[in-house]
Amino acid sequence: VYKEIYARPLPIPPDKVPKHTWTNSTTGQIINYYEVDIKPFQQQVYSNLGKANLVGYDGISPGPTFRMERGQEAVVRFINHGTLNSSVHLHGSYSRAPFDGWAEDTTAPGQYKDYYYPNNQRGRTLWYHDHAVHHTAENAYFGQAGFYILHDPAEDRFGLPAGKYDVPLTISSKQYKSNGDLFSPASELTSLWGDVIHMNGQPWPYFKVEPRKYRFRLLDSAISRSFQLYFEKDTKTGTKLPFKVIASDAGLLSGPVTATLLEISMAERYEIIFDFSAYANTNVTMRNNRDVQADEDYNSTDKVMKFIVGGTITDTTNNGEVPAVFDPLVLPPPKTNVDRTFKFGRNNGEWRVNGVSFSDVNNRILAKPKRGSVELWELQNDSGGWSHPVHIHLVDFQVVSRKDGKRPVLPYEAAGLKDVVLLGTNEKVRVLARYAPWDGVYMFHCHNLIHEDHDMMAAFNVSVLPD
Ligand code: C2O
Ligand code: CU
């Protein structure tokens, strides 16, 4: 049993520094070049047990945080010093297909691959993580995940908390063996929920904050666990404290959505503004509901982290009112007829999309959208009590409807564009997207990484030729 709940500080991953920066003297175009070493490291998790063996980007987990400016391109060399093949996906980027982390485009130990990222989307919180075929769950769980924040200068006028008041928070959930090492998901076929909740790689940390507004960029990087997060005062009044959801997968919402509960599933990102000004010199805790989807709960899976609120503000910049609206969303033109239906189901103990497995190389391309076309896809959960967060590469989509389950489209899902959407039990979710800007073969899959590895993943081919 882990005894040091809220006893260790929240780690903040260091910012990644480019190795070279080039400026094209004719166009002024800036390209930053980075190198990342995928390498083993150890972490003392249980103070009375041995260390856990991990493999992370630059030997840390989460990996270093990339901070990119919109319009500046990047090339990142990922050098594999690990023992398993790697493939790196920048989740949330409209990368060209050869740089999108295609599962079979793996880099063997001892080799490297250079990835090119255009960085010309709206500002957003992305993340980079492993995507190697049949090893994604292991690689991500043992440490290969990190933040990649794309900053759009056009958003500065909103005066949102910045600098040390803009904090990436990635939540995950793991399980350890009695020797202190990690229990591996490699032989799991359904899910590994984990009994130890981590924030930024640290089990149940605390974080010292000032009594002012903070921007938190939340990412669920767990391999199998969804969360319903809320804040409460340490005095346990039972009251869920309000916050504002300001952004989701594809950046700022059309305007902030006030909430007291944040549902976040694997690979989803939500950014919130939490104002600690009313809680000076007290504590606020972030909690998780029990019985989220069909996830298994343990003793402390309802606890997440503690905020120790100080009495003084050292910097009052960007601590004003959050604007009532941001920029209007650029939505694809509405459509009522469903173009394609995909069933996320289970056959003979294996996970499938429309009955097809990613290993079925001759049949796994399930769609051929014409480049530039807008399509309405219906994603159906056809697997009984399981839930599946479905991620479509390349595009940002609008969550149009959710039917036949218990939940409607959540207000903060509706107010932004997404690249992952949770298909809860029996749910049918419609998503609308423009399949652009590039041609190429891209993956879509369940982001329960154990389901993805076994083989709930398929592909679509964006092409100038019609279907
Ligand atoms: Cu976050 Cu295909 O992955
Ligand atoms: Cu799934």
Mind listing the pLDDT tens digit for each residue in 35-54? 999 999 999 999 999 999 99
Q: Name the percent of the chain lying above pLDDT 90.
A: 95
Taking residues 312-338, what's their average pLDDT? 97
- Tell me the Ramachandran region of residue 58: left when phi exceeds 0, alpha when psi lies from -120 to 50, beta otherwise: left
CA of 89 relative to ligand 1 center, distance in Å: 6
Residue 1 has pLDDT above 80, yes or no: no
Structure tokens at 269: 């990102």
Helix (H) or strand (E) segment spanning residue 453: helix 449-453
Tell me, what's the pLDDT at 466? Answer: 66
Per-residue CA distances from 454 to 91, 132, 134, 356, 400 (Å): 20, 12, 7, 11, 28
- Tell me, using a 6 A CB cutoff, whether residue 267 lines ligand 1: yes
Ligand 2 center–CA 462 separation, angstroms? 24
- DSSP secondary-structure letter at 413? H
- 230 contacts: CB under 8 Å, gap ≥ 6: 240, 241, 260, 261, 262, 286, 287, 288, 289
| Residue pLDDT, tens place only, 248-261 | 999 999 999 999 99
Question: N- to C-terminal Cα distance for the chain?
Answer: 55
pLDDT confidence band for 3 (50 / 70 / 90):
confident
User: Which of ligand 1's atoms lies nearest the C-alpha of 101?
Assistant: 2
Task: Return all residues near 161 (Cβ < 8 A) that are at least 6 apart.
Answer: 212, 213, 214, 215, 273, 318, 319
Atom of ligand 1 nearest to the CA of 445: 2
CA atoms of 92 and 126, how far apart (whole Å): 5
| C-alpha R_g of the chain | 21
Share of the chain above pLDDT 70, in %: 99
Range with the lowest mean pLDDT among 176-190, 194-208, 234-248?
Answer: 234-248
Query: Would you state the pLDDT for residue 356?
Result: 97
pLDDT digits (tens, 9 = 90+) for 127-165: 999 999 999 999 999 999 999 999 999 999 999 999 999
In ligand 1, the atom with minimum distance to the C-alpha of 89 is: 3
> Regarding predicted confidence, which is higher, 251 or 234?
251
Residue nearest to atom 1 of ligand 1 (CA): 91
The pLDDT of 291-303, averaged and rounded, is 95
313 alpha carbon – ligand 1 mean position (Å): 39
Give 391 Cα–ligand 1 centroid separation in angstroms. 6
pLDDT band per the 50, 70, 90 thresholds, residue 467 = low
Nearest one of 49, 53, 36 to 141, comparing CA atoms = 53
Q: Does the CB atom of residue 391 touch ligand 1 within 6 A?
A: yes
The tens digit of pLDDT for each residue in 369-380 reads: 999 999 999 999
Give residue 258's pLDDT: 98
Nearest bound ligand to the CA of residue 346: 2
pTM of the model: 0.97
Structure confidence at residue 235 (pLDDT): 65
Please tell me the number of the ligand nearest to residue 449's CA.
2
